[in-house]
Structure 1
Amino acid sequence: MRKYTVLFFLIMFMIGTDTFLVSPLLPTLQSEFGVSTGIAGWMVGAYTLGSAVFALIAGPLSDGWNRRIVLLSGLVGFSISTILCGFADSFWTMCLFRLLAGISAAFTAPQVWASIPAVMPAASIPRTMGIAFAGLAAAQALGVPIGSWLAISHWSVSFWTIGIVSLLLALAAFFLLPDMKPNAGTSVRTSILRRYVPLIRSGKARSGFLAYLLLHLGSGTAFAFVGKWMTDRFELTIGQIGIVMMCLGLGSLLGSFLSSHATRNLGNANVVAAGMSLLVVLYAVMPQLTKLSFVTTVYFIIFMTLGVVFPIAMGALTSLNATIRGTISSLANSTMNGANTLGAWLAGLIYVQFGGYATIGLFSAICLALSLGMFLFGGVLGKRSTQINQESTSAS
């Protein structure tokens, strides 16, 4: 089973690295293609847009197909699209290839979360979820330096390297992963909208996804303007901010590895209650700190705690219904991207209009408190394998 754990970690690491890859290259690509700062961000936005929108389609479709084939197809498409980015000769071709990479990622990443309960023993699922999340966390910590280092000779080398390594992972997945065909009674012809019906009807599912939305809205809003705030308060350079961000990514990585140990000893509900209560306090207090070392330490603890909580939340959601795990994973992915997008917009509005980062911290604390309430009182963190009503299978 260790082979699956390593494979899922590496797949999520490559997808995460590709997600963060464009950020350090943006000034170079802007100069290369001769575009203004105002539209250069579309080279980043094209990827997240493709991933967020097509995840809503990819998930329901995958629940009626062999999940192994869906994952392999998405990973191959992701590899080819990323390699093509290295051959882009204009701003619009780069946006197109980034869009295709995001669409392919939408067919790949959710399959990782949906495949873990299918191939791993029940006792190993929390640990494997945590390690897969650690792949994203490691990419967050290392994506910027990896992208910068690979681009020393030429910016295209970054994309070619990520694409080729991902292609090798697709080859490994072809030989390692078993077939994961849909459950008996799950129709391939079931419409995309009908696969969402069980989630819409279930109060537990509604509570879970609302809690997940608030969790990412709170953390995403705070993260969106932390660099701006650190620049304004501590007069940091871009390089210094990058070092701080690496520390935060390492905190998330550590938390992901600790997640399964915490749940095994304390239980899901207790870990989430303690972790999110701590986050509420830290988000409210952090903007009041006046020393950079204290701020960095607190934010390291925040990211470590988020690294513990995120795998538990995803595991709770995917355990709602075994027949539509792809739909659940994809909806969770879109929820996360939507919350982060909304959070980035709200962060700018709050920062300028409502008292700076202190108000952002308060907003994040409120979101986390509401999220905790939804998780605990919505019944999402109940006993493992408790699924939503069997009406879901008939709707599927």
Structure 2
Amino acid sequence: MPLALYALTAGAFGIGVTEFVIMGLLLDVSADLGVSISAAGLLISGYALGVVIGAPLLGALTGRLPRKTLLLALMVVFTVGNLACALAPDYWTLMAARVLTAFAHASFFGVGSVVATSLVAPNRKASAIALMFTGLTVANILGVPFGTWLGQAYGWRSTFLAVTLVGVIAFAVIALLVPRDEPVAADEEESSEGTLAVLGRRAVLLGLLTTVLSWVGVFAAFTYLAPILTRVTGFSEGAVSPILLVFGGGLVAGNLLGGRLADRHLVPGAAAFATVAPLQMWVLEKAKGAGQGLASSFNIAAFNLGNAIGAWLGGFVIDHGPGLGAVPLVAGLVPIAALGVVLMALRLERGSAIGKPVTAQC
């Protein structure tokens, strides 16, 4: 794999730590800022909604920029946003800083996925995406447990200061290793197969819906993992970081396995993070042309919409439902709907292929 892919992995690592580390610090943030656990959980929903808003907004504003220039600009937004999180004096300032940081998220992974696939042979594209997303999984296996420990030992603000430093390093590595490229031509951007037309394709929309539903369940439970472990299952606060380490190990293995399997056969799936590279590859394949960058960004937005809904759903179960102990059960029921959407998409794809002329199939 080209060295440029590892530069993208470094950026993905920093973004992954920012997104997920707050889950291990919910108790610390809620106690320090004087808010409830469910209110602290909304900092995760706010970040995820920032990703959802940032995808179309930045996609429209930056569509013609060279991809390397855009990646560097996004890392600047990410770094400044994390510094603002570290210095936030109250809950709402922290929420605003989280949303600002999130604006860089979808576009970075969306554009980064397109850049990653352009750097490798056609039969290695899903593996290239998986390698970039390894930064996200390593953030869970190393960054989040370390950030949780750091925040518990020296205050949660120290964690965001450390992530700010990661952003500076990622900016430097991307500037050094990612190759320069040309901006998107106006005629390509404005063609009928261009950026906006791709969002009307049924296969793309079904892929986005699958991403949303499959991750609602994951984040409904993962968001409240720290209080579930300490208040339901009886673990000590010090045990949270090692358990997050085990969870992160599963993410890394699933991500790399999912990329390899998707290079061979895209549709047959596995579980949890093994679906990230195949779903991203599905959307890219169905988008094609100039709309790939936007469609890819929207799939990351869909991932984070699932994050936002999941965090809200878990909080609702805690505040208005059976309570904290029932969150994993409720979370486990949601992905069944995602499986139904996948089966529908495959059935429609088969029906569409059967209806095409023989020359078109060839």
Fold shared per TM-score above 0.5:
yes
Query: Residues 130-182 of structure 1: CA distance to partner in whole angstroms, max 9, x if unpaired?
Result: 11222212212333322134343454332222212212221221232222421
Choose 332-341 or 224-233, whichever is displaced more: 224-233
Choose 113-122 or 355-364, whichever is displaced more: 355-364
Q: Percent identity?
A: 22
Aligned to 2:359: none
Mapped partners of 1:140, 1:308: distance in 2: 14
Aligned to 1:133: 133
SS in 1 for 2:87: coil
2:346 to 376, 390, 395: 376
Query: Residues 308-364 of structure 1: CA distance to partner in whole angstroms, max 9, x if unpaired?
Result: 222011111122223112211221122122223223444566783699468636623
Task: Give me the CA root mean square deviation.
Answer: 3.4
Kept in 2, the 8 Å contact 1:50–1:103? The answer is: yes
Kept in 2, the 8 Å contact 1:20–1:143? The answer is: no
Say if 1:230 and 1:98 are closer, same or farther in 2 by CA, change over 3 A. closer
Aligned to 2:75: 75
1:182 to 181, 184, 197: 184
State the TM-score, normalized to the length of structure 2: 0.80
Say if 1:40 and 1:356 are closer, same or farther in 2 by CA, change over 3 A. closer
SS in 1 for 2:65: coil
Choose 52-61 or 21-30, whichever is displaced more: 21-30
Structure 1 residue 75: deviation in Å?
Answer: 0.6
Code of the residue aligned with 1:104 in structure 2: it is: A
Kept in 2, the 8 Å contact 1:134–1:256? The answer is: yes
Mapped partners of 1:357, 1:109: distance in 2: 29
Say if 1:345 and 1:115 are closer, same or farther in 2 by CA, change over 3 A. same
Say if 1:64 and 1:362 are closer, same or farther in 2 by CA, change over 3 A. same
Mapped partners of 1:149, 1:16: distance in 2: 16
Which structure 2 segments of 5+ residues have no match?
Answer: 354-362
Does the alignment pair 1:319 with 2:285?
A: yes
1:204-223 to structure 2, matched below 5 A, reads: 204-221=203-220, 223=222
Mapped partners of 1:127, 1:251: distance in 2: 17
Does the alignment pair 1:119 with 2:100?
A: no
Aligned to 1:329: 296
SS in 2 for 1:89: coil
Kept in 1, the 8 Å contact 2:215–2:335? The answer is: no
SS in 1 for 2:104: helix
Kept in 1, the 8 Å contact 2:219–2:311? The answer is: yes
Code of the residue aligned with 1:336 in structure 2: it is: F
Mapped partners of 1:163, 1:222: distance in 2: 27
SS in 1 for 2:187: coil
Kept in 1, the 8 Å contact 2:117–2:126? The answer is: no
Code of the residue aligned with 2:304 in structure 1: it is: N
Mapped partners of 1:83, 1:343: distance in 2: 27
Code of the residue aligned with 1:251 in structure 2: it is: G
Kept in 2, the 8 Å contact 1:133–1:307? The answer is: no
Say if 1:348 and 1:164 are closer, same or farther in 2 by CA, change over 3 A. closer
Aligned to 2:357: none
Aligned residues: 344
Say if 1:226 and 1:367 are closer, same or farther in 2 by CA, change over 3 A. farther
1:1-396 to structure 2, matched below 5 A, reads: 1-35=1-35, 37=37, 39-151=39-151, 152-177=153-178, 178-183=180-185, 185-187=187-189, 195-200=195-200, 202-221=201-220, 223=222, 234-264=233-263, 266-269=264-267, 271-272=268-269, 275=270, 305-320=271-286, 321-347=288-314, 352=321, 356=326, 360=330, 363-364=333-334, 366-379=336-349
Structure 1 residue 41: deviation in Å?
Answer: 4.1
Mapped partners of 1:341, 1:43: distance in 2: 9
Say if 1:239 and 1:76 are closer, same or farther in 2 by CA, change over 3 A. same
Mapped partners of 1:211, 1:43: distance in 2: 24
Say if 1:367 and 1:164 are closer, same or farther in 2 by CA, change over 3 A. same
Structure 1 residue 52: deviation in Å?
Answer: 2.1
Kept in 2, the 8 Å contact 1:68–1:180? The answer is: no
